[in-house]
Structure 1
């Protein structure tokens, strides 16, 4: 049987599972460092991780009847986190705030109760708010080439980017080992979005580039702050229930993933669009513009608003968040609106 885990994005990676729209699938997800960090390792003084081995993703999952041009809907129904978690703070993370970090640390967390506790923060309990860091679909070969050329240019211009490399690759077969995209970044296909709202009750909307979508997920957090500013959230392993649907011939298809979710501790559902700075290294301004532009297109296509009406509504009701600053080459910015605005009172 094929291993259910991989840590590269490439359309040649064989599906680990096939399923149909409407079925509930339970996924057993390792922690984001593939078991490198344990309580014993932290007690022994471990302070870093091998980035070549991060993000063992569950998948790819082939969803029957899904074709390029469709939008894949993925419902996150349940996230059952385990009892141990860890957080890494790393001075050389390559992020926008990495120069502020003076030393590396790995903190272990007890997750056996309703909150998270660590010896490094005595008297503090972090509430449980699980989310999935990495969700995505496989790129087509054409899109793979576009992304590889773009990231090669940004790297040559001085940006810190994980480039394709066979070291630590899962699977270790070619061409994915040497040509597959690394999982640290967010891209058109999804990837390492690290959006706190991407948790239980959330539906992710992903543009599809290959037959079956070849969906994967991983990098589960017990809790994660906006920006994940200096390293990681509370990384842990989990069991996750998901259900797939497909939008064929969609009236609106965002260039980047979008979410329908419950915002943080609020009860109201929200539509959330994402923005990246694909052609400029770590440019928050471009990512913000892309997130807002995508929200405008949603309001025009799905809610029938004019450009002026969309801008008016966004100005008075939208929430903007910087979800990722530490996963080069692009930050992730989100724009969200409550869906109750569009329901008859």
Structure 2
């Protein structure tokens, strides 16, 4: 069976809204290739090209994809099989008004550093960095409010999370019929935290398998990531502390269901085996994840 390709030329969004309409309909279990453009849409090609401010429309997300049979209360599983780099360079930027150290006297903004890619690595000045592609923005139609593709929330969106990468599966709560999945804003490489506000922004081709989990054992409120070794709850909030609390509460719910303990015992157990990880601290909401090893959590769905 051939794998259909959905391109940014077929459709992109800059806002996740409850009333999204799909540019393509696929069936549960379908394998799809998604082509994305870099988050700045090719505007920056050299060090002389800089951004004075964050564009009004940024992080174009290819889609939405209507997954047949997905209904509110279901879960959409997005297995990321492979992410291929689709252009010869990425770019890392600073932008005035954006980033963890925005306003610091030692930091210049705006500035652009092109990052040429070749043979599994990118070049930053004289330094080589391994290419480890990440999908920065990925999500589904939200339940009520709308969110731009710069904002992370319960629907996903601009999660900027290094675990959204090949070999892992990300699960989304379905809020609207068809789920309406869209993704983009990929990076050739990015560190946890995304401190300057970008990774190496780059165009990609992403191979995914999409599957609807109906009647899930756990009703998700926010994204959940499965890696080969762990389940990671993902939460976004206005403060790092609040995001940590939400990710921990979600992990507690999973541990409670798995082991038949009460929430307090699950809370205590999470303090033994969980692991809080910072995804990003630069978007309008910050994002964290809480990793529970599979030795203590089998299959929550």
Which has the larger share of helix? 1
Distance change >3 Å, CA 46–CA 112, structure 1 → 2:
same
How well do the aligned residues superpose, as a CA RMSD in angstroms? 2.0
CA contact (8 A) 1:251 1:302 kept: no
Tell me the equivalent position of 1:258: 224
| Cα offset, 1:64, TM superposition | 0.7
CA contact (8 A) 1:76 1:243 kept: yes
Tell me the equivalent position of 1:14: 21
Tell me how far apart the structure 2 counterparts of residues 227 and 204 of structure 1 sit (CA, whole Å): 19
Structure 2 residue ranges without an equivalent (≥5): 1-6
Tell me how far apart the structure 2 counterparts of residues 113 and 211 of structure 1 sit (CA, whole Å): 42
Tell me the equivalent position of 1:338: 293
1:28 aligns with one of 24, 35, 39: 35
1:319-338 equivalences under 5 Å are 319-328=275-284, 330-338=285-293
| Cα offset, 1:77, TM superposition | 0.9
Tell me how far apart the structure 1 counterparts of residues 280 and 165 of structure 2 sit (CA, whole Å): 16
The one-character-per-residue Cα deviations of 1:248-278 (angstroms, maximum 9, x if unpaired) are 222212322110024xxxxxx210001222x
2:136 aligns with one of 115, 133, 136: 133
CA contact (8 A) 2:154 2:223 kept: yes
SS of corresponding position for 1:206: strand
The one-character-per-residue Cα deviations of 1:288-332 (angstroms, maximum 9, x if unpaired) are 11111110001112454443442343222222112111101x210
Larger mean Cα displacement after TM superposition, 19-28 or 181-190: 181-190
TM-score by length of 2: 0.89
Tell me how far apart the structure 2 counterparts of residues 27 and 303 of structure 1 sit (CA, whole Å): 38
2:231 aligns with one of 271, 275, 279: 271
| Cα offset, 1:226, TM superposition | 1.0
| Cα offset, 1:236, TM superposition | 0.6
SS of corresponding position for 2:289: strand
SS of corresponding position for 2:118: coil
Tell me how far apart the structure 1 counterparts of residues 122 and 289 of structure 2 sit (CA, whole Å): 26
Structure 1 residue ranges without an equivalent (≥5): 145-179, 263-268
Total equivalences in the alignment: 288
SS of corresponding position for 1:252: coil
SS of corresponding position for 2:199: coil
1:54-203 equivalences under 5 Å are 54-82=58-86, 83-93=88-98, 95-100=99-104, 101-119=107-125, 122=126, 124-140=127-143, 143-144=144-145, 181-203=147-169
| Cα offset, 1:50, TM superposition | 5.2
